[in-house]
């Protein structure tokens, strides 16, 4: 009943939810009707595109997903007590973490826990946080600041660089100052502009009308390489990107702090706790220590 409600809310259609859960649409309809009768109010109303949550349905959705996650935790803990390493782990991350960290982390995890099913969902910082709040993800990588009431573990201070076409050189040949970027166009990812990128640009008085937007890190590199402007990208994003570009630090150094985000410790499944241990061990070995910024 709860699973049917959660899946219909996610898919916004009874038929699609039925396919995902491998049941008939009538079974989904029966479950939803039973839950509405038990609760005493409607959960969905129909529109041209399928169904949409009512205001009451929106209020109880996080609670239902918390119940489902607690049930998963119970079954996973029982399996571990019985000597089985079964369960699932749903990870959310943004692009550069997916490319540079997750493959090694997941391979290490799978060696130790081969029976646990892992799924990876990619989104921006805010989307990852929202998916954790909704119970759609068990663990996620985002960036500070994080205001939501979630468990937050700072991991890594990632320096932000100015990326320029080959031939560009700052006046002091070491770091970019305000005079180097005056009247320059900057190419950014709009989804990240409200965080560390904006702080760097504001420090150098770059006006909003000097900004252009691109869809991803690789596109920014291609546009910079073509001479369409300068880019701002963090070190982690640059590690596996190639192009005829150069990068320089800013004279006023800027960082983003990547953090691991989960539900409260009481809500974490055994697989979530095990993955956190692997993440911290991996980053400590790679960088020497975790970030101490909170």
Task: Return the ∠ at Cα 77 (arms to 73 and 82), rounded to 5°.
Answer: 150
Domain with CATH 1.10.10.10 in the chain: 1-68
Look at residue 131 and tell me whether its pLDDT is greater than 80.
yes
Interval 198-231: pLDDT, tens: 777 888 888 878 888 887 888 999 999 999 999 9
CB-CB contact of 162 with 181 (8 Å): yes
Specify the higher pLDDT residue, 75 or 244. 244
What does the alpha-carbon distance between residue 8 and residue 168 come to, in Å, rounded to a whole number?
53
pLDDT confidence of 270, banded at 50, 70, 90?
confident
CB-CB contact of 186 with 230 (8 Å): yes
pLDDT confidence of 35, banded at 50, 70, 90?
confident
Sign of the alpha-carbon torsion through 139, 140, 143, 147: negative
Interval 221-261: pLDDT, tens: 999 999 999 998 999 999 988 889 999 999 988 898 999 99
Look at residue 86 and tell me whether its pLDDT is greater than 80.
no
- State the pLDDT at residue 194: 54
pLDDT confidence of 288, banded at 50, 70, 90?
confident
Query: Of the candidates 43, 38, 37, which has an alpha carbon nearest to the alpha carbon of residue 17?
Result: 43
Mean pLDDT over 14-30 rounds to 84
Q: How far is CA 37 from the centre of its chain?
A: 36
**In terms of CATH architecture, what is 1-68?**
Orthogonal Bundle (1.10)
Interval 118-129: pLDDT, tens: 999 999 898 999
Look at residue 24 and tell me whether its pLDDT is greater than 80.
yes
Q: How far is CA 197 from the centre of its chain?
A: 17
Tokens encoding 34: 């039973």
Domain with CATH 3.40.190.10 in the chain: 157-256
* Arithmetic mean of pLDDT over the chain: 87
pLDDT confidence of 99, banded at 50, 70, 90?
very high
What does the alpha-carbon distance between residue 182 and residue 205 come to, in Å, rounded to a whole number?
8
- State the pLDDT at residue 285: 93
- State the pLDDT at residue 154: 95
Look at residue 147 and tell me whether its pLDDT is greater than 90.
no
Look at residue 278 and tell me whether its pLDDT is greater than 90.
yes
- State the pLDDT at residue 83: 53
List of residues 6+ apart from 164 with CB closer than 8 A: 224, 230, 231, 245, 246, 247, 248
Between the CA atoms of 174, 175, 180 and 186, what dihedral angle is there, to the nearest 10 degrees? 130
- State the pLDDT at residue 11: 87
pLDDT confidence of 191, banded at 50, 70, 90?
low
Specify the higher pLDDT residue, 191 or 184. 184
Mean pLDDT over 86-106 rounds to 92
Instruction: Tell me the fold of 157-256.
Output: D-Maltodextrin-Binding Protein; domain 2 (3.40.190)
């Amino acid at each position: 009943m709860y699973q049917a409600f959660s899946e219909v809310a996610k898919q916004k259609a009874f038929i699609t939810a039925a396919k995902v859960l491998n049941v008939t649409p009538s079974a989904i309809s029966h479950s939803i009707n039973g839950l509405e009768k038990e609760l005493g109010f409607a959960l969905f109303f129909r529109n041209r595109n399928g169904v949409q949550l009512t205001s009451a349905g929106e209020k109880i959705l996080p609670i239902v997903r918390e119940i489902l996650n607690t049930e998963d935790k119970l079954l996973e803990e029982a399996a571990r007590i019985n000597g089985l390493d079964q369960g699932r782990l749903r990870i959310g991350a943004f692009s550069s973490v997916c490319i540079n960290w997750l493959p090694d982390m997941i391979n290490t995890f799978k060696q130790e826990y081969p029976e646990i099913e892992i799924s990876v969902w990619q989104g921006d910082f805010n989307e990852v946080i929202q998916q954790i709040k909704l119970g759609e993800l068990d663990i996620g990588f985002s960036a500070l600041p994080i205001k939501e009431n979630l468990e937050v573990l700072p991991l890594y201070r990632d320096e932000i660089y100015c990326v320029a076409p080959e031939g560009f050189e700052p006046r002091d040949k070491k770091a970019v100052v305000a005079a180097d970027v005056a009247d320059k166009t900057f190419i950014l990812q709009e989804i990240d502009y409200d965080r560390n990128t904006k702080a760097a640009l504001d420090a150098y008085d770059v006006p909003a009308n000097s900004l252009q937007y691109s869809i991803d890190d690789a596109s920014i590199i291609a546009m910079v390489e073509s001479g369409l402007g300068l880019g701002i990208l963090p070190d982690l994003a640059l590690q596996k990107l190639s192009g005829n570009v150069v990068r320089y630090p800013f004279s006023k150094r800027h960082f983003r702090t990547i953090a691991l985000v989960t539900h409260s410790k009481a809500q974490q499944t055994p697989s979530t706790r095990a993955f956190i241990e692997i993440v911290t061990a991996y980053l400590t070995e790679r960088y020497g220590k975790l970030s101490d910024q909170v």
